[in-house]
Structure 1
């Protein structure tokens, strides 16, 4: 969610940075978070609890298992944040700091931010000295190459697909699990400390691309295929002590991690315990009560809207609330590959039929979200929202009825919506709004750990779903191509273009924009393409969320990082005191 380069495009990228960061406010520092008039922690407001001490146990209270800790497959928040800050390192990463400072990249495993050549089509990185895995064995560049190759494997779906998009890999390459390794035309490892990436086209932001978990090391000898998520081999400050899926994950210190090679991860706690057996309301109740070990606890999932009054009416609790804009767009996705949502007029009618006011209320009201009027969030449109249709927030019933009739659905229809159990209230808001038009929506609420796999399966996917997208760094290049390029669609593990929207003209325009070397021209083109896709309406933008997270009274170093979609930055969090 940031970018930089030192090619001839540096000035243009700097301009893009200014545009991308326009909606971010800076840190004010201090030992506690400021709160706005609605009692919600404001953006970029500093660090709760001051600087942590070394030691103790950090407790993470969760209502769900991790869907993926395999770095090849980890592409959802807050799992990326957790994995990248505790278990594995990448070539570059983001600074551990609140506000705009946390949007800067720094070297991680690499000695610098990468050296481009061949007009940005070739990128070279050198590893630092002294890098080791949890067993003390050295981290070498072939391990990074191997993990990048794994991202091509159909057996390991769901992860970031930038390597597939960017690398000069042979057509049809199916990854190392098929016994194939990439050749020098894609990735070279001339020695144990040097790795060279050859791209299909110039990518000025590739130094940011390698912050993603795809570019973490995985040794060939530790390959366990789909089971690798159960025990990723640690290159970070912690390693897995035990993991009972869906119940409890315990991390302990990786004694072979050298803080001298890592300027980002502070690794304050001795141990991190993730309890995955709890309900959202119960987590909130425990953190509000703030008793015993819960003083040393943080919440993993968002504070439920029903519990907001309990927090903001109690000053001592309110001071422990962090809530920052996620920089993401929540959307009502339509499965455009099947009737009835293969009808573009019907999809357009949905833009006017939904009640975004009611949807906003279902996620906590204006204090916790803004109504979305565009796919691209304000952080990617110069800091100000784009309102393409200018539809009233509660919808436009007359226009919706007209469009439904034009589409041949004047008498309505029936469909199903898939959401995680935690988003059932949002689904009910959609259900109630559409019922007014004789659109009967059945809610399919599934566990959060399997939501993505259901929505991403051609056979299991329903007509509607509520999902969202966050940029991997502040560029529309990490947004529109990820969710609307029809060539990325797969039958299972479909994590990007979940609407299965496949318009050749849109695909061609994405290619044209990707080839532009003028970043301002690219930004302008993405804004125009955003409007074009809105007209075709594969999804309805619903809200721009804030992420409310409550922490215990003995927590220190707690701040939200917009890189991680408003999640707490696990690189710097710990305890105020250790008894």
Structure 2
């Protein structure tokens, strides 16, 4: 039987607030996976992050029945001390990539970039916490995804290593010039780019970093954009709609996919992407995992940079403070207010 859900919209102001109240047409007997514990949910959008953190850390009347889905990294230590198990580190079904242009670069160039990328320093400069909100990605598929394989392209985790970067760059027949863009309207993005540029230059690359005032995706996703045509290194960050590689690998690695920002296309990979969804369902997860390894081992078209974690904070009267790994969100359906 179709469920319309335990809550319905009472009011909605785009970019400001959504209010949900109990749905009197919902039948709990037909929808045992969800609950109607809270009388009302009020979602606030575009709230000031630091102000929100201070409210959550204060344990005042407002914070006690509230939760926040994005703790500012600089407040992490204080939140650990004050909130204890009401601070939840939740993994997300997300991976970010550096995506060199496949037709303009060879594998040695791409591996040189991978070892020249200053992962933890770039995350820190960009406002993330290494090991907490950002962790090293070693595969296409993120942690928690069905069929995620365990392998290392070079036999060990790729990390910042200038000696290896220089070795691969010496093997490469690609011009050692990196042309990329960064979001110059965001001071954190500027700081991160400065760190990335230094890492690449220390490895022997020449870096042409171009500042843009719109989201980089506005350039990356426009093949005819004059700036985009100059680039040989782009990027992409992707989160799954549900924890299956069907929503992850095809959008990024099938030829002509919108978010294939490196323009990677190989016939054997395209054919396998089309074939896997036709396999018996119980075989598909492992098949996607094998394809993940094949793409990265045979072609190394993109450099997995990071898997994402989010920091949730819960008020002292919120019961069962927890997250949902499949959605990368608070476990809304099982939260309740303690009297």
Normalising TM by the smaller chain, what interval? 0.7 to 0.9
1:331 corresponds to: 97
Q: Shift of the alpha carbon at 1:295? A: 1.9
Q: What is the CA deviation profile of residues 511-570 of structure 1, one whole-angstrom value per residue up to 9, with x for unaligned ones?
A: 3444444956972674255243354333211123332211122222321111112x2122
Do the aligned residues in 2 keep the contact of 1:480 with 1:530 (CA within 8 Å)? Answer: no
1:269 equivalenced with 2:38 (yes/no): yes
What residue is the counterpart of 1:355 in the other structure?
Answer: 118
Query: In 1, Cα distance between the equivalents of 2:40 and 2:336?
Result: 10
1:375 Cα shift?
1.5
Determine if contact 2:319/2:336 at 8 Å carries over to the other structure: yes
State how far apart, in whole Å, the 2-side matches of 1:445 and 1:262 are.
46
Aligned twin of 1:508: 271
Q: CA 1:530/1:429 → structure 2, altered by over 3 Å: closer, same or farther? A: farther
Q: Does 1:321 align with 2:87?
A: yes
RMSD over equivalenced CA pairs, Å: 3.6
Moved more, 475-484 or 415-424: 415-424
Residues 239 and 252 of structure 1 are in contact (CA less than 8 Å); yes or no, is this contact kept in structure 2?
A: yes
* Structure 1 residues 564 and 256: CA distance shift in structure 2, 3 A: same
Structure with the larger RCO, 1 or 2 (CA within 8 Å, 6+ apart): 2
Change (3 A) 1:291 1:522: closer
User: Any conservation in 2 of the 1:374–1:534 contact (CA below 8 Å)?
Assistant: no
Q: 1:478 to 1:322 in 2, by over 3 A?
A: same
Find the aligned partners of 2:26 and 2:249 in 1 and give their Cα distance: 37
Q: Distance in 1 between matches of 2:184 and 2:303?
A: 15
SS at match of 1:267: coil
SS in 2 for 1:508: helix
Matched, 1:376 2:145: no
Does the C-alpha gap of structure 1 residues 479 and 420 become closer, same or farther in structure 2, counting only changes over 3 Å?
farther
Q: Deviations over 1:238-292 (max 9, x none)?
A: 2333322222222233332233322122122222222223232332222112323
**Counterparts of 1:499 and 1:484, CA distance in 2:** 9
Matches within 5 A, 1:549-568: 549-565=312-328, 567-568=329-330
Runs of at least 5 residues in structure 2 that lack an aligned partner in the other structure: none
Identify the structure with the greater strand proportion.
2
Q: 1:308 aligns with which of 65, 69, 76?
A: 76
Tell me which residue corresponds to 1:467.
Answer: 237
TM-score of the superposed pair, with normalisation by structure 2: 0.79
Q: How many positions carry a matched residue from both structures?
A: 327
Give the structure-1-normalised TM-score.
Answer: 0.49
| Shift, 1:343, TM fit | 2.3
CA change 1:266–1:499 in 2 (3 A) is: farther
- In 2, distance between residues paired with 1:525 and 1:275? 37
Match of 2:199 in 1: 433
Instruction: Answer whether contact 2:138 2:158 (CA < 8 A) is retained.
Output: no
- In structure 1, the partner of 2:21 is 252
State the secondary structure of the residue aligned to 1:501: coil
SS at 2:131 equivalent: coil
Cα 1:288–1:419 shift into 2, 3 Å? farther
For residues 321 and 98 of structure 2, the distance between their equivalents in structure 1, rounded to whole angstroms, comes to 32
- Partner Cα distance (2:112, 2:85) in 1: 43
CA contact (8 A) 2:35 2:333 kept: yes
- Residue 420 and residue 310 in structure 1: after superposition, are their counterparts in 2 closer, same or farther (change >3 A)? farther
User: Would the aligned equivalents of 2:104 and 2:174 in 1 still touch at CA under 8 Å?
Assistant: no
Question: Shift of residue 361 of structure 1?
Answer: 4.3
- 2:162 match: 397
SS where residue 274 of structure 1 aligns? strand
SS of equivalent to 1:430: helix
Structure 1 SS opposite 2:334: coil
Q: Given the alignment of the two structures, is residue 365 of structure 1 paired with residue 133 of structure 2, yes or no?
A: no
Alignment check: 8 A CA contact 1:352 1:400 kept = yes
Identify the residue that residue 296 of structure 1 maps to in structure 2. Answer: 65
